[in-house]
Amino acid sequence: MTKPDFIRSIDKQSFSYYTIKNRFPRILENIILENTDYPTGIFDELNLNLFEQKIVPLDDNTTTLFDESVKPFEQQSLFEAPFFVTEMYFYRRIMSVLHKHNIDSDPFRITKERALIDANLFMEQIAEELDLMDSSGPPDEYINSALQLTLWGNLADLSLFNLEHAKSHIDNRGDYSDKILINEAQSFAKLVLAHSRNIHLLTDNAGYELI
């Protein structure tokens, strides 16, 4: 079986190009706005030649393994390198710059904490909706409903969509069912119901799936 090529960001109409061109600068700006105790000029260092940057080894003794993993893509631009590599490099470079200034704290801590506080009421509403679901009905239908709550709840992202956007999709999730490209909810439900094993939950930015 032939492996598909990497997703790259050369196409200006692609989501990955939009991410690099629009979301990356916004993320850097938010870091500076939220962390007022950072040294003056650190934003310029983070944002220096962002769109002309090429993948290079990071001058940080904590990135040896990372540098080895991106070595095949050295000297490729952020748009030319595989998007996954570019995104990981972007965030790893942020931490590398902070380490140079002896900053070990999470640059997104304030944003995450505020998002969690703002989401409390929303998560309570989701929990109430789960309680009201008819769990006495077909188990596979209950699992499918819970999966859809998880799917659209996970739409909230620190730099892409806000909480209200995700809530709109959850409240009207029936209208978006045709937007799901691959839906294996029934197979998943059969697997869960057929095996009494532990299920490990991994939470993303917003973490509504934890409910």
Please say whether the beta carbons of 53 and 71 come within 8 A: no
Confidence of residue 171 (pLDDT cuts 50, 70, 90): low
Q: How far apart are CA 100 and CA 96, in angstroms?
A: 6
Q: Are 183 and 154 a contacting pair, CB within 8 Å? A: no
- Angle formed by the axes of helices 139-153 and 109-132, nearest 10°: 160
Question: Which of the four pLDDT bands, split at 50, 70 and 90, describes residue 90?
Answer: very high
Rounded Cα distance between 174 and 149, Å, is 11
* pTM, entire model: 0.69
Q: Looking up tokens 């009201």, which residue turns up?
A: 132
CA separation, residue 21 to residues 35, 56, 113 (Å): 23, 19, 26
Residue 69: per-residue pLDDT: 84
Average pLDDT over residues 97-102: 88
3-state SS assignment for residue 54: strand
Kindly provide the b/e burial profile for residues 153-178, where b requires at least 16 CB atoms within 10 angstroms of the residue's own CB: bbbbebeeeebeebbebbeebeeeee
